[in-house]
Structure 1
Amino acid sequence: MPNKSAARAGSAPADRLVDEALRPRVTREVADDLAVDALLRDRAGKPPFDEAARLREAGLPALLTPPGPDRRGTDWRTACGVIREIAAADSSIGELLGRHYALSWSARFFSTPERADALERRAVAEQWLWGGSTEVPGAEAATEDGLTLTPADGGYVLSGGTTLAAGVQVADRLVLGGVGTDTGDSLIVCLDPERPGVTADAEHDRLGQRLAGAGSIGFDGVLVPADEVLGTVPRDEHAVSPFATLAPLVLRLALVHVSLGTAEGALAEARDSNRATPGRWPVPGPDESAYPDRPGVDPYLLLAYGELVTAVHTAAAVVESATEALARGLLAGSALGVDERADIAVLVAAAEATTCRSAMQITTRILELTQGAGSAADTLGFDRFWRNARMLTAQASPTHRLRDIGDHYLNGTHPPLTLRA
């Protein structure tokens, strides 16, 4: 694994974590900083060591922790707002931060409150950035390409490999799900990626989300002490705690906020380009001679922006409803019931379906809206918004989500209690 000590040199100490009163300004400053060179960094496609250092310096990795004397944490709603604002400036870093926040709750989902509290205190003090995935295949699907945990003296031996969508080379801790070879149950573990036997390779030439730090990671007989096992997930879904199965919903909703932020960022940059650069609407209208150099009065351009703004507002409203429901579910903790979890899952699915369509509509349409602004579309790299949105939405098919929503509404069917996203 790469040495991250240099990248961590600018990390904020624990006593300089983001104060609630300063958080909006700090978030805005980080977003503005990322927006300045977002296009250049996207084209370079390097691992996000510098970007991770910027997040740590601002204290953002420690944001989603319980408030306390030495922890100025905040709630899930606020964290989602931060994800969305960062994603509007740089979609890749929004995903990196969103996945970090989702994974930072892993101990709460799978371990004891005492263990979760101790782990979070250390994570805050050391400004950890989390990476990994709690999604695991069933025992019958476990192959040499998956992760297995074999019992050994003092713990387990982790073997195999997996691919991750973010944080492969910059994460300070990995949360991973593997299949126990003795029971077939899924085990959730937390380990240091710099441990001997761990190898990581960045994924190059990605279509989008090039700075999220995607890649593959392998484990060659890596010892995992027993105290690094957060918990066990039984194969029988009926034996799984409804609260634990919020883990994939938290991740899915975090990525929804990334997609929504991407769409909002794309729309704002296209608007600024059209305002600043006179140009001709790409599809001439009958009275085109009246506004060749005044796009602000072009009725066709105004109509297009009206449609796109409405689309993003619609998505934002659905996402807000899902965010509120999930926040209530997280507060319920172990008292969360199966029916409540099902309702949350349906709202998250609705947010995914709506945002997926809006993000693709907006990021595709702005390529047309900026054609009339000379070479601005090429200079400002508007294609990156489409590429990022395509990468984010590829795994969240609106068709599948809408089918699940319809099945729940028509037949009362509950989405399965699963850790699969």
Structure 2
Amino acid sequence: MADGSSNGTSVPFRDPSVYAEYQEKWATLPDSAESWEKRAQEVSDVLAVDAGQRDIENKSPQAEVTLLKHSGLLKVLGPKKYGGGEQPWSIGYKVTRKVAEADGSIGMLLGYHLLWSTTANVVGTPEQADRLQKLILENNYFIGGAVNPRDNDLKITPKDDKIVYNGFKHFNTGGVISDLTVLEGVLEGTEDHIFAFAPTRQPGVKFSHDWNNIGLRLTESGSVKIEGVAVPWTDALGWDPEQKKPDPKVLGIPFASLLLPTIQLIFSNLYLGITLGALDYASKYTVKSTRAWPFGGDNKEKATDEFYVLAIYGNFHAHLRAAVALANSSGDQVDLIYRNYSGDLETRAKLTARERGELAEWVASTKVVTTDTGLRVTGGVFEVTGSKATSLKVGLDRFFRDIRTHTLHDPVAYKNRELGRYQLLDEVPEPTWYT
């Protein structure tokens, strides 16, 4: 089949009806943290059946986003009054991680959606946040984002009661199959940034359909051109629509920069999920298919009796246990910040730069550990599965390709430097687009 996009280009995708049975099966949302994690496991089990084949086919993931919609996972963080799960970020991270165990691409789409769907909660007014939560949850929308800070900013031009976005972004995760897209740019004549949501399916959002990278192949992370996309001033997040200026009570405080550590911890849970998936996949392969080495001088009948095989798997297991514990602890820190400082503007204003910086260092620590462990494990499993495991039909390579692709998002060396300054000089980082 083909997906008719907003600019008339067609791309192949699987028929979403392949997952139709789950719309009824998952008609009721989970009602506890445990049941949300169970739902994520169920989604992971469905995706695991053909994840390798879908990676090879590289079709647009419209069907898989439909599966996420059926599951309710897109709503896990949203307020209950609009049909959400009202779970904390720690559960959002865990369900993202679980989905990524089976399919890194779909885990990434889920994680990015959770960040973008809550953008207004951080950089918008309470009224804007409430209005957008209602819109997103009641329509079960999937959210994409055209916010790549390495590119030139989109140009924003004021026009009567609207602002108009124009520009180009090399990366735009999930946009092609999204209902709404988060845009971000700079208002002409100023250095002020504006976030806003826009309907994806409109002539001014032109996708290039050029994502064909070695990993995370089903994330639709290709480029997009934005031409004349107009948004009402009232939807300029954190701005006063009458004065047409940023509201310092919303955007001039440390709370408004929480999007960055929040999404960086999504990255770490994505890496962790992919790595856990790789270790599980490799373990099953070794038990079933790996042969013992017959020329070592201490020959064993089975690979599972080989000392080096056991030692490597044991070491990977230990390091992943530590990484999981660190990621969970960092998720708890995110929960604490949002629990203490979300709400009205007076409450948000109480978050200090130091507290925000301490959170960023929890997240940076997790990024370093999950990157290092993820790359070592997803590449290292081939040492204990054997040469036949490199076959494309086995599908073990996709885990390494996925994690290698995303860990290049921003250099982890800068996270190490940042943590070094924290350790030696007790300095917390200044907020940036990547910190």
State the TM-score, normalized to the length of structure 1.
0.90
Which residue number corresponds to residue 138 of structure 2? 125
Which residue number corresponds to residue 298 of structure 2? 287
Question: Aligned partners of 2:27 and 2:42: how far apart in 1?
Answer: 20
Deviation at 1:196, TM superposition (A): 2.6
Which residue number corresponds to residue 253 of structure 1? 265
Question: Aligned partners of 1:205 and 1:64: how far apart in 2?
Answer: 31
Deviation at 1:327, TM superposition (A): 1.4
Question: Aligned partners of 2:380 and 2:398: how far apart in 1?
Answer: 13
Alpha carbons 2:128, 2:235 under 8 Å: kept: no
- Unmatched 5+ stretches in structure 2: 7-12, 240-244, 342-347
Question: Aligned partners of 1:419 and 1:332: how far apart in 2?
Answer: 24
Deviation at 1:67, TM superposition (A): 3.3
Deviation at 1:221, TM superposition (A): 1.5
Partner secondary structure for residue 212 of structure 1: coil
Alpha carbons 1:273, 1:376 under 8 Å: kept: no
Residue 361, structure 1, aligned to residue 376, structure 2: yes
Residue 2, structure 1, aligned to residue 5, structure 2: yes
Which residue number corresponds to residue 167 of structure 1? 174
Alpha carbons 2:112, 2:266 under 8 Å: kept: yes
Q: Give the one of 75, 80, 87 matched to 2:88.
A: 75
Deviation at 1:202, TM superposition (A): 2.1
Alpha carbons 1:189, 1:231 under 8 Å: kept: no
Question: Aligned partners of 1:135 and 1:200: how far apart in 2?
Answer: 15
Alpha carbons 1:49, 1:170 under 8 Å: kept: yes
Partner secondary structure for residue 174 of structure 2: coil
The correspondence of residues 19-418 of structure 1 with structure 2, limited to 5 A, is 19-20=31-32, 22-68=35-81, 70-134=83-147, 136=149, 143=152, 146-232=153-239, 240-281=252-293, 284-288=295-299, 291=300, 293-333=301-341, 334=348, 335-371=350-386, 374=388, 377-418=391-432
Between 148-157 and 193-202, the greater mean CA deviation after superposition: 193-202
Partner secondary structure for residue 169 of structure 1: helix
Residue 256 of structure 2 aligns with an amino acid whose one-letter code is A
Residue 343 of structure 1 aligns with an amino acid whose one-letter code is E
Alpha carbons 2:143, 2:180 under 8 Å: kept: yes
Alpha carbons 1:345, 1:415 under 8 Å: kept: yes
State the TM-score, normalized to the length of structure 2.
0.87
Give deviations 1:61-91, integer Å, cap 9, x for gaps.
Answer: 1111123474333111111110010000000
Partner secondary structure for residue 379 of structure 1: coil
Question: Aligned partners of 1:274 and 1:210: how far apart in 2?
Answer: 26
Deviation at 1:377, TM superposition (A): 4.8
Between the aligned residues of both structures, percent identity stands at 29
Residue 405 of structure 2 aligns with an amino acid whose one-letter code is M
Give deviations 1:115-154, integer Å, cap 9, x for gaps.
Answer: 21121122111111111155647xxxx84xx311101011
Question: Aligned partners of 1:54 and 1:118: how far apart in 2?
Answer: 25
Alpha carbons 1:67, 1:73 under 8 Å: kept: yes
Question: Aligned partners of 2:29 and 2:269: how far apart in 1?
Answer: 23
Partner secondary structure for residue 46 of structure 1: coil
Question: Aligned partners of 2:304 and 2:196: how far apart in 1?
Answer: 55
Between 358-367 and 192-201, the greater mean CA deviation after superposition: 192-201
Report the CA distance shift for 1:120/1:339 in structure 2 as closer, same or farther (over 3 A). Answer: same
Give deviations 1:319-358, integer Å, cap 9, x for gaps.
Answer: 1221111111122221221111010011111100010000
Residue 409 of structure 2 aligns with an amino acid whose one-letter code is Q
Alpha carbons 2:379, 2:400 under 8 Å: kept: yes
